[in-house]
Structure 1
Amino acid sequence: MDELVDILDEEGKYKGISLMKSQAHQKGLFHPTVHVWFYTPNGQILIQQRGKDKDTYPLLWDVSVAGHVGAGENIKISAVREIEEEIGLKIKPSDLHKIGIFKSVQKHSESLIDCEFHHTFLVELRVSLENLTKQESEVEDLKLVSITQFEEELGNEEKSKKYVPHSSDYYKTILAEVKKLA
């Protein structure tokens, strides 16, 4: 779905203009996104298998919930909206624990360049996996994996191919922050 997004400079500051997401991707312009990682107190992380019809990384495993921040939309409100849309879970903005903003550039093709600043949050998952409702157009599957298994698979050249290739620093930060809370 195309939507209006705010355009950022290379430092992540708002430029005062908004374009359609497709235009931002086509021109390689920076824009804000949200990443929300759900964890359980017993050391598991919720991962999402991207939908088979996604333009980028179809069927690879990724962050629990992710999405674009709408033009003029508050970052936390965007995260809450994306969570409800993608996994059917209602949370409060106060449930979000922000761990950072990560700059990411992924050139998929000449006409699809993701230049994003991921506003990244952790949230404790307080319901069972069965109580989540996948957004069929976005999410192929959801599963819980132990922090140990996730870390081992990311460190294995063959097994890591099933995950979206975020930077190793990004994944290391996520794992370190989840370990503090789980």
Structure 2
Amino acid sequence: MVEEHVILVNESDEPIGLMPKMEAHEKALLHRAFSIFVMNDKGETMLQQRAKNKYHSPLLWTNTCCSHQRDGESNIGAGKRRLMEEMGFTTELKELFSFIYKAPFDNGLTEYEFDHVMIGTFLGEPNINPDEVADWKWMLPGDIKKDIEENPDRYTAWFKIIFERFYDHLMQNIPTT
């Protein structure tokens, strides 16, 4: 299998080169990524539990899907591709915001990403890829926020960072009825 490459970027998200994914994480170099939050009509967010065999953060809970864009691939196109590969469905996606974050791991790898955060809606059950995902569930954003505060070790490092921004975005932009 050919190793995936990530798009190295500067702090303005301008591409400056390509590098094998593992090398970029070993060297903690800034690269383009995306994070998807899928919601249902009850206002719940679909979470996934990472597969046991993942090279970092196995069996931790995180957002619906996240990965890296391929060279020449749009953010939305990359999101739809990876959502199908991991969760077995696709939906329309909308980019909400982007930001840079850095999350080091105990195994020496570091996520240093220019992250494009997207949202979509889905009302069915996913057909999860067991090589990527161990489990999934729906949770209300307020319940996620509370559980992260009470049980931070259950969640991926990047999800805790991204969710805080996503939650703030939801509270500021989605009308309550």
Same-fold status (TM-score > 0.5):
yes
Q: What is the CA-CA distance between 1:136 and the residue it aligns to?
A: 1.2
RMSD: 2.1
Tell me the distance in 1 between the aligned counterparts of 2:12 and 2:104: 18
**Equivalence map 1:1-182=2 (5 Å):** 2-15=3-16, 17-91=17-91, 95-108=92-105, 111-127=108-124, 129=125, 132-156=126-150, 159-166=151-158, 170-179=162-171, 180=174
Unaligned runs of 5+ in 2: none
Q: What is the CA-CA distance between 1:70 and the residue it aligns to?
A: 1.2
Q: What is the CA-CA distance between 1:49 and the residue it aligns to?
A: 0.2
Change (3 A) 1:41 1:177: farther
Change (3 A) 1:40 1:80: same
Helix, strand or coil for the counterpart of 2:157?
Answer: coil
What letter is aligned with 2:99? F
Percent same amino acid among aligned pairs?
Answer: 22
What letter is aligned with 2:158? H
Tell me the distance in 1 between the aligned counterparts of 2:50 and 2:160: 20
Q: What is the CA-CA distance between 1:171 and the residue it aligns to?
A: 1.9
Tell me the distance in 2 between the aligned counterparts of 1:20 and 1:89: 27
Q: What is the CA-CA distance between 1:144 and the residue it aligns to?
A: 0.6
Q: What is the CA-CA distance between 1:35 and the residue it aligns to?
A: 0.7
Deviations 1:120-152 (A, max 9, x none): 10111232x2xx111111101011112231121
Helix, strand or coil for the counterpart of 1:155?
Answer: helix
Tell me the distance in 2 between the aligned counterparts of 1:59 and 1:111: 18
Check whether the contact 2:53–2:131 (CA below 8 A) recurs between aligned residues. yes
Change (3 A) 1:46 1:108: same
Q: What is the CA-CA distance between 1:110 and the residue it aligns to?
A: 7.3
Tell me the distance in 1 between the aligned counterparts of 2:166 and 2:56: 21
Check whether the contact 1:41–1:181 (CA below 8 A) recurs between aligned residues. no
Change (3 A) 1:137 1:59: same
Check whether the contact 1:6–1:72 (CA below 8 A) recurs between aligned residues. no
What letter is aligned with 2:81? R
Q: What is the CA-CA distance between 1:42 and the residue it aligns to?
A: 1.2
Helix, strand or coil for the counterpart of 1:144?
Answer: strand
